[in-house]
Amino acid sequence: MKTPRNLLAAACLLAVAMPAAHADTDAAASSPLQVEWNARLRHEQVDNDAYARDARADTLRLRLGLRANFGAGWSGFVEGSGVASAGDRYNSGANGHTQYPTIADPEGAELSQAWLGWQGATFGASAGRQRLLFDNQRWIGDSGWRQHYQTFDALALQWQPATDWTLRYAWLDRVHRVAGRKALSPLARERRLDTHLFNAAYQRERQQWTGYAYLHEDRDVASASTATWGVRWTGKPAGSGFGWQLEAARQTDYANNPQRFSHNYWLVEPSWTQFGLTGKLGWEYLGGNGRTALQTPLATLHAFNGWDDQFLATPAGGLQDRYAALNGAMGRSGIAARLAWTVAWHDYRAVRGGRYGSEWDASLGYPFLPGLNGLVKLARYRADGYGRDETKLWLQLEWSGKQAL
């Protein structure tokens, strides 16, 4: 696979510009007014056996935000973002090029965030268009892998009644999706919601227990309204040793949903860290009955069930994802110690039915300078009853920082 010349040229310019523009992060954080930026240059290729042509997208995402600290706990943030493309040999969801596989990074500009907040010693609140990240983002997240990220028109509250307790509540009025404002389908642009999120977490040393209730009403698509109740228990090793993620939930129809269903969810993920390497095994179960299945429409979906994104929506037969992953650094000193790699394998099966397929994922990342990171990433899906064989490749350079004004 060839890397386009314009991508290489832009990457070189970005790398050269970075040292001169590097910001003092500590000074920016304490300043009453600061500018924040993120630039992400990405080449993505998709080879799908269902299409005669491969998709190729060379996109540049720019975000620019202004954060104000007014004093007495008050702050505000306004951020705009835009995505430009060097070509149109892909289906962005907005350009109508359905002869190519989908790469969901359409061109366009938007107001991505605009909120006002207050933070006291134990209580905080924010209102407006904002990013929301809950736990591991399995249910609520910003879909940060795509060039346009997911934000919410929301009221968010957080209270810490004690040092080891955190209680969160958010009311969502609207979700702005990663397909952007120019998506051909209006439902892919945004959804009107009346959603209530409750989350309570207790932290003790390296363990955390969380309980949640996510009452999600979709006012545009009634069949997407669900109530999800769950618990989560995680543990992190002290440098090395045993870690885990355990989670169980129940999802039912809710509010205006005309269907009647009840589906189970669970996650079992033990891990072991030793000599700078972390290995994990996992089994994620998303229930389905052949007609409906458990869904997570507000999640950061790319982080789950493989990087090829075959299962952004759970098939009606449900999904069982059994996986193994290993990650670490190339060495213990010098450049090798900064090269971070990951390899993962997934086996996908239905809850009701047979196999879906399998997938290999791999990535290699390198921090060139503070705030400037490079990434090579690969996903290879092999169909066995669901979808078609597909290979995806990403080459990415990302620069982010802050500067006091």
pLDDT of residue 31: 84
Residue 253, SS3 per DSSP: strand
pLDDT of residue 27: 56
Beta strands 207-216 and 226-235 are antiparallel
pLDDT of residue 10: 45
Nearby residues of 130 by Cβ (< 8 Å), 6 or more positions away: 77, 113, 115, 151, 152, 154, 156
pLDDT of residue 12: 41
Residue 389, SS3 per DSSP: coil
Q: What angle do CA 345, 349, 353 make, to 5 degrees?
A: 165
pLDDT of residue 87: 85
Beta strands 55-71 and 33-48 are antiparallel
Question: Under a CB-based contact definition with an 8 Å cutoff, are residues 94 and 104 in contact?
Answer: no
Domain ranges of the chain: 5-404
HSE (CB half, 13 Å, CA atoms) of 372? 15
Q: Which two tokens stand for residue 52?
A: 């005669």
pLDDT of residue 238: 86
List per-block mean pLDDT (blocks of 10 residues) for the chain, which spans 405 residues.
Answer: 44 42 53 95 98 97 97 96 94 95 96 97 98 98 96 98 97 96 94 98 97 98 98 94 97 97 98 96 97 97 97 97 96 91 98 93 97 98 96 98 94
pLDDT of residue 379: 98
Amino acid at 293: A
Range 5-404 classified under CATH 2.40.160.10: yes
The Cα 275–Cα 108 span in angstroms is 45
